[in-house]
Structure 1
Amino acid sequence: MSRRGPFPWGTLRQVSAIVWSAAGSLAAWGWLLLCQGWFWRTDVRLPPSREPEAWPPVCVVVPARDEAAVLPASLPSVLAQDYPGRAEVFLVDDGSTDGTGEVARALARRHGGLPLTVVSPGEPPAGWTGKLWAVRHGIASARARDPEYLLLTDADIAHAPDSLRRLVAAARSGGFDVVSQMARLRVVSLWERLVVPAFVYFFAQLYPFRRIARPGTRTAAAAGGCVLLRAEAAARARIPDAIRHAVIDDVALARAVKRGGGRVWLGLADRVDSVRPYPALRDLWRMVSRSAYTQLRHSPVLLAGTVAGLALVYLVPPVAVVAGAAAGNAVAGGLGAAAWLVMAGTYLPMLRYYRQPPWLAPLLPFTAFLYLLMTVDSAVRHHRGRGAAWKGRTYARPDAVPEEG
């Protein structure tokens, strides 16, 4: 039959491409659903534990740079920890210009609670991120108290009164060197509702929580807002010196501890919350794009693969539904709808965890498209010399950092 005849060869090829893409997306979702560590489940919480007979000493390290606005909502909860053993707090003022240190001291005088020490390390030397330089000085100050555990918590994190004792009990009972909880982020504005639950969902997809706790696996991650770290494991893994240039420092910390033979646990929090607002899309955009290309190791190949993967997994299903309906192709539409349904179904538990309505689940392709754009923007910013920027500092790519002598 001639190509010039009435048979629509171009349309056939187009429909075939849509069908194959939709089939590939559905297959990918089948694999994610069953073979990616049950990442979509939200029941990984602090493991069962028993309280120790003697509570070990703990030092809390809080790196803070220009955090005067959020400290009144977070620091009093840290100082008010109901911990039966010896504990104190070291807040490291990382070159703040808004009076962060003074605000912290005033809050300690007003609220009392655990002893607070404010230290200021000065500007970080080349090869160090500001946060890890602050953590280094916080840990150095804490060593004089000979703690068994260090709680590394961000300045925007509020803890329930029993948070520290539950973390220590879980670490002691489970024999973990790292116990980390992913703080529940604020979800108030429209953009926070669209972007924040998806952020945690994507993180769990990359680092399935169940695999992290499993001995013998390479998967390792932590959530920097709340990391209980055994001091001996920190010394053995040379934390933070060994990861001094890491922009995604929580994942780097967990990997370093696990490489050294330590055990790591990560799960979702019930009583640890971030008080930092992200009211506008630009605020969330900065949060993601700051480190997205770093996560891809500044590799154009990984960037291209990530964009293609996001498109296949998240964008093809709705496109196949629309294109199948327009072309009258039930197969393409059915495959796309099935993939979209599985996608939305795996997202529902995270929406429930964040107390969000289920009608947001079908909008996940739109949110994924935003993340795709944020990732590309992160790469563009990096190549323009503006990547991995945070509060006035821009960090070099890891392979550009000089090694220690």
Structure 2
Amino acid sequence: MLRRLDLRDQTDGYRDAVPRAEVDVEHALAAVVPICDDVRDRGAAAVLDAGERFDGVRPERLRVPAEALEKALVEVDPAVLDAIDESIVRLRLTCEAELERSVTVDVAPGATVERRIVPMQRVGLYVPGGLAPLVSTVIMNAVPAQVAGVPGIALASPPQPEFGGLPHPTILAACARLGIDEVYAAGGAQALAMLAYGTEENEAVNLVTGPGNIFVAAAKRHLQGVVAIDAEAGPTEIAIVADATADAEFVAADLISQAEHDPLAAAVLVTDSLELAAAVDAELERQVPLARHEERIRTALAGQQSATVLVRDVDQGVDVANAYAAEHLEIQTADAAGVAARIVNAGAVFVGSFAPVSLGDYAAGSNHVLPTAGCACHSSGLSVRAFLKNMHVVTYSEAALRDVGDRVVTLAEAEDLPSHGAAVTARLGRAQ
């Protein structure tokens, strides 16, 4: 089911050697730009028109009524609500620990520079509703925004025909549990344009976060500059570095868990053990037919983006993993903690046999909105920091300015910007 890719004789070039899904965001822009421009020009009517076209339903209005949120919370399965609560608690603990504080530095007598931490004033959260109602994504986006202290939070999720044009009720229940009452029945590029530009029904936001399909990624690329974005998320991916000590049943189950997301999902096993590779193949043959989404999983596992990658040893496996920069990386080796300590490129690392990626998807306390397509070599997953800004606040007394003023003038002259210096000498020339 998984093809084999043998890198045992290779010493470099791993980034290009490990397979990835072919995703052409630029091509998707051709479809996305007219939608975004229409929303910019016509507002809510354009969003509703696009929803009717792409989602097959036209809600009476974009904003979800308060009573629908309350109804979803009352009717949600208590076990699901309990799981939502636990996920919120664990992620909130992590976010609160990561929250940066303002710092004031005395750079000289009478001279201070404060790095002030300021939350974004208004953010838009996007929660997909295509192949699966990602209730966990509500939590992963909303909790760090709330911990950051963002005063205005709007959330958009696609309207569902089977629920009368509202987003999935479990998504609404999670919103209600988190106290998010500004929720919109809008999906895809039109939802992002609605958040970025604003309409007669909603105020524009400063930042849009959340995963989505290729059209959502294309809309983010197009709208960047109008609004800040977290990242252009591509198809999900898992890589597992495993040796002969790994449990083939666990490895296969974890590969399947990510393949379940999307036919373009990537599942990559990196191993130095032919015996484990064979055992995982056997487990896949056994487990996949038992899965609810068998066809989707088979497509993903058989796709060009998925493979078993054979390496000489775990050291080469680490090099391959760092070059691949997976969204999710599991380490299932004899010294899992030691191997994980050598990983520098991954969205999130899951260490040992009892830390599967699905734990991180829901209740590990980590965030599952992560960089894909190799972007983990330069980007980070969503966190409380994404919803915060740094501002320098500079306070100088007259004496402090006099102490450094001549140096300011000197540098201004060196840059041939004499008026910069004059702004200082105008102050220094006054009687002392």
TM-score category by the smaller chain?
under 0.3
| TM-score, normalization by structure 1 | 0.26
Bigger Rg, which one: 2
